[in-house]
Amino acid sequence: MAKPEHGDGDWDFHLRSLSANARDSTAASDPASDPYILQSIRKIYEICKEARSEDLVARSYPHINKLFHRSIAALPQSQTSNGILLLTILQFFLDFGEMVLHDTDPSLRTFFRSCLSRQVSLQAYVSAVSLFFSVNFFMQTKQNILFL
């Protein structure tokens, strides 16, 4: 089993945190209400990016995917902003989806239909969506043009 070379146990701690939150039925109502979930997903993303390990991505993916679906389901009754959490998860899907055979199109479609229209008035959210677009779609289009 591959482990990142972080002596402080970050990987294990954050993976256990995601696993517990993915299983926790009380967190099922609104995963974004726990700010540590976002921190854990960001840290797992960084570690997977650094390690470039399919094993780490494969071990993280089921928990992150489950949290994505719970966050989408919680949107109608949510008292917190799920947008930043969902964007972070979408970035994970876009960057590592091929390793775990995750088709990102349905996830993106779900996000745009259910989340984008609800939270467009939040300035931090709008900034994060703009950055997400510029990093993922503008750069991809630019690369495609260069290869024509």
Nearest to 80 by CA among 33, 36, 117, 27: 33
Backbone angles phi, psi at 55, to 5 degrees: -65, -45
Return the structure tokens found at 13: 């701690």
Domain ranges of the chain: 10-146
CA dihedral 73, 102, 21, 111 (to 10 degrees): -30
Return the structure tokens found at 148: 């024509």
pLDDT one-digit tens code per residue, 79-111: 666 788 888 999 999 889 888 888 888 888 888
15 close to 44: Cβ distance less than 8 angstroms: yes
The residue type of 82 is N
The DSSP call for residue 5 is S
pLDDT one-digit tens code per residue, 112-128: 777 766 655 566 667 77
Whole-number Cα distances in Å, 126 to 77, 118, 122, 141: 21, 11, 6, 21
**What is the value of pTM for the model shown?**
0.74
Could you give the CA distance from residue 114 to residue 22 in angstroms, rounded to a whole number?
A: 21
